């Protein structure tokens, strides 16, 4: 079984995890820029982070035959300080031509503030100026519904946005139809305690179809499972989904979306 | 697509386990000292949704925990989430 992990924060994982991914059939992993679990003290911290994402991490993955790609941005949480965020954003263009950078992400909202929204919109404009795909994070738990609505309202104001080049991640049952109905791709994140379980993600596949959906582990420094995607594939098999349907959601769909970047090979 | 019987065969024990965990959690809360907060109230408000016949119970539970306000602050007054919106 081959699959693509379209959202994994591998800098937070051990090399052992790369071996597990490889043994499970993972061909490529895509890593969006995110919050490190603490606020960086300076923009220079992000410079080193972007070097890690674009240089070191692809080499670490390659040792296990896995292609590593990245998305760049300042994450929504640290974007609540707009002065700092703009300083970080001034660094990003010099990394956008790196051969494994796919686009802008994971941008979005965290606590649904005006500061976060302003920086979100500046990121969207940067992606539009460069013709890049966009990966969007939606807020956690009780903030998700409101944040998803705010993000959709904001995106609607960009008249030249190709909605097929935007994926809105971490959808759940109360947000998925908002995202799909508006013409965007949607990502379902499989977490042990929050976001989706494999059972619930499969329910949503059964209800909404597989046209513009992917599943991911979003494994990071928190309680998460780098093998969540193949585990979900196993649950799909138990629920009598065909091998073709499973391959569609864990391989062909992420490949179709990600191939909108010419760098995804 | 599996039948209802096949789904029960696959998942009943797991769901039974989770339901008993919820019951035991409520018992545990009752047994222990101290004050409750908005999360317990939100949990109690969500539980009746399980007994309805609507086809979107999962979505309804998620909505019951959600922030439905439309106002925005300039910056975040606090960070983190509790899992249930505090009215």
pLDDT of residue B57: 98
A240–B contact, CB cutoff 8 A: yes
**Does the distance separating the beta carbons of B58 and A145 come in below 8 Å?**
no
The verdict on B55 touching A (C-beta cutoff 8 Å) is no
CB contact A238 to B (< 8 Å) = yes
- Look up the domain containing A39 and give its range: 3-258
Of B63, B73, B75, the CB nearest to A145: B63
By C-alpha distance, the chain B residue nearest A193 is: B83
Q: Is A150 a domain residue?
A: yes
Tens of pLDDT, residue by residue over A74-122, are 999 999 999 999 999 999 999 999 999 999 999 999 999 999 999 999 9
Hunting for tokens 């696959």 — which residue is that? B10
* Count of CB atoms situated within 10 Å of the CB of B41: 13
Look up the pTM and report it.
0.97
Interface predicted TM-score (ipTM): 0.96
Which CATH number fits the domain that encloses residue A119? 3.20.20.140
CA–CA distance, A26 with B35 (Å, rounded to integer): 48
**pLDDT reported for residue A189:** 98
Sheet holding A26-32, edge to edge: A3-5, A26-32, A67-72, A101-108, A134-137, A166-168, A185-189, A213-216
Given B11, B63, B72, which is nearest A113 (Cβ)?
Answer: B72
**Structural domains of chain A, count:** 1
In-domain check, residue A83: yes
Interface probe with A: pick from B72, B78, B84, B86, most Cβ of A within 10 Å: B72
Tokens of A265: 């090979």
In a domain, A265, yes or no: no
The whole-angstrom separation of Cα A155 and Cα A70 is 22
Could you give the CA distance from residue B71 to residue A114 in angstroms, rounded to a whole number? 10
CA A256 to chain centroid, in Å, comes to: 15
Note whether B72 contacts A112, CB cutoff 8 Å.
yes
pLDDT digits (tens, 9 = 90+) for B15-62: 999 999 999 999 999 999 999 999 999 999 999 999 999 999 999 999
CB contact under 8 A, A143 and B81: yes
Domain assignment present for residue A148? The answer is yes
State how far the Cα of A206 lies from the Cα of B58, in Å rounded to an integer: 14
pLDDT attached to residue A21: 98
Helix, strand, or coil here: A183?
Answer: coil
pLDDT per residue as tens digits for the range A109-131: 999 999 999 999 999 999 999 99
Test A142 with B84 for CB contact under 8 angstroms. Answer: yes
| CB spacing of B82 vs A199 below 8 angstroms | no
Q: What is the dihedral of CA A28, A29, A32, A33, to 10 degrees?
A: -120
Which A residues, 42 through 101, put their C-beta within 8 Å of a C-beta on chain B?
77, 80-81
With 0-12 / 13-18 / 19 or more C-beta atoms within 10 angstroms meaning exposed / middle / buried, residue A156 is exposed
Following DSSP, what letter does each residue of A193-242 receive, concatenated? SSSB-HHHHHHHHHHH-STTEEEE----SSS--TTHHHHHHHHHHHTT--
Q: Which residues of A touch B72 (CB under 8 A)?
A: 112-114, 117, 150
User: Does the residue A117 lie in any domain?
Assistant: yes
């Amino acid at each position: 079984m081959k699959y693509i992990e379209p959202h994994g924060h591998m800098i937070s994982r051990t090399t052992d995890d790369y071996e597990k991914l490889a043994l499970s059939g993972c061909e490529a992993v895509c890593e969006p820029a995110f919050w490190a679990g603490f606020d960086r003290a300076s923009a220079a911290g992000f410079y080193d982070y972007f070097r890690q994402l674009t240089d070191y991490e692809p080499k670490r993955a390659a040792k296990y035959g896995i292609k590593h790609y990245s998305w760049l941005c300042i994450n929504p949480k640290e974007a609540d300080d707009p002065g700092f965020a703009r300083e970080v954003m001034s660094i990003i263009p010099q990394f956008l031509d790196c051969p494994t950078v796919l686009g802008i992400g994971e941008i979005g909202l965290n606590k649904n503030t005006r500061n976060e929204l302003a920086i979100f919109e500046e990121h969207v404009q940067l992606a539009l100026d460069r013709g890049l795909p966009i990966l969007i994070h939606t807020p956690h738990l009780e903030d998700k519904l409101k944040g998803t609505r705010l993000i959709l309202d904001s995106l609607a104001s960009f008249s030249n946005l190709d909605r097929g080049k935007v994926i809105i991640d971490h959808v759940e049952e109360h947000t998925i139809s908002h995202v799909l109905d508006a013409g965007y791709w949607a990502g379902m994140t499989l977490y042990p305690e929050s976001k989706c379980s494999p059972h619930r993600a499969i329910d949503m596949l059964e209800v909404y179809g597989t046209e513009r959906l992917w599943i991911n582990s979003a494994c990071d420094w928190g309680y998460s499972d780098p093998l969540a995607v193949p585990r979900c594939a196993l649950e799909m098999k138990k629920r009598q989904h065909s091998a073709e349907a499973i391959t569609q959601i864990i391989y062909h769909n992420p490949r179709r979306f990600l191939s909108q970047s010419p760098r995804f090979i | 697509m599996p039948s209802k019987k096949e789904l029960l065969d696959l998942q009943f024990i797991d769901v039974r386990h989770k339901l008993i965990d919820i019951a035991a959690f409520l018992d545990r809360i009752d047994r222990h000292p101290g004050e409750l907060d908005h999360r317990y109230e939100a949990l109690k408000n969500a539980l009746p949704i399980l007994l309805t016949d609507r086809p979107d119970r999962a979505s309804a539970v998620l909505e019951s925990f959600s922030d439905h306000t439309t106002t925005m602050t300039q910056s975040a007054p606090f960070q983190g989430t509790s899992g249930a919106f505090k009215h």
